[in-house]
Amino acid sequence: MKNTKTMKLIAFALLVTVIAIILVAGTYAKYASSASGSDSAVVAKWDIKAGPEGNEVSITGDNAQVAFNLFDTILDEDGTAETDVTAGKIAPGTSGAFELSVRNDSQVNAEYGISFNLGETTIPLEFRVNGGEWASSLSSVSTTALNMNASSIAKVEWRWAYEAADVVAGDVVDTGLGIATPEVTVTATLNVSQVD
Partner 1 sequence: MKSKNRLSKIIAFLVLLAVVAMIFVANTYSKYATNASGSDSAVVAKWSFTVNDEEIAVAGDAKTIEFNLFDTIYDSNGEEETDVADGVIAPGTSGEFEFALKNTSDVTAQYAIKLDVDNTDIPLEFSFDGEEWASDLTNLIAQDNLAMDASKNVKVMWRWAFGADTATDISLSEQTVNVSATIDVIQANAHDELRKVTYKLFPELETSLRETVPATSAIQTIAPFYYEDVDLFENKNLTQISMYVKNVNYKDDYATMKISTINAPESFVVGANAPTTFLETYTIKLPSSYFQGETNIGRWVDIDLTQYAYKSDGTIATQGIQVGEGETLAISSEKNDTIVWNVDQSSFETQPFYYNNAGKIAFSADSGLNFLFEYTVYLENTDEDNGNTNEDTLLNELKGKKLSILGDSISTYNGVSNNATYNSTLSGNATYYGAVSYTSSVSQDETYWQQIIDTFDMELNVNNSWSGGTVTGIKNTNKAINRASQLHNVQSEMPDVILVYVGINDLRYDQTPELFEEGYTTMLNTIKTNYSNAQVFCIGMPNRNGNDYENGEYTDEEAITFNTAIKNSIEAVNGKFYYVDLFNSEYSNQVYFDNSINTGSQNQYTNSTLDNLHPNEIGMDYMTEIIIDRMNEVLIENN
Does 88 bind partner 1 (CB under 8 A)? Our answer is yes
The correct pick among 39, 120, 133, 183 for binding partner 1 (CB under 8 A) is: 183
Angle at 157 between CA 91 and CA 121, to 5 degrees: 50
Site string for partner 1, 96-115 (x = CB under 8 A): --x-x-----x-x-x-----
**Minimum distance from CB of 192 to partner 1 (Å)?**
5
Q: Which residues contact 152 (CB under 8 A, 6 or more apart)?
A: 101, 102, 103, 112, 144, 146
Site string for partner 1, 13-52 (x = CB under 8 A): ---------------------------------x-x-x--
Cα-Cα-Cα-Cα torsion 71, 74, 75, 77, nearest 10 degrees, comes to: 60
Cα distances from 94 to residues 52, 54, 79, 89, in angstroms, run 21, 26, 9, 9
Site residues for partner 1 per CB under 8 A: 46, 48, 50, 59-72, 74, 76-78, 80-86, 88-93, 98, 100, 106, 108, 110, 117, 123, 162-163, 171, 174-194, 196
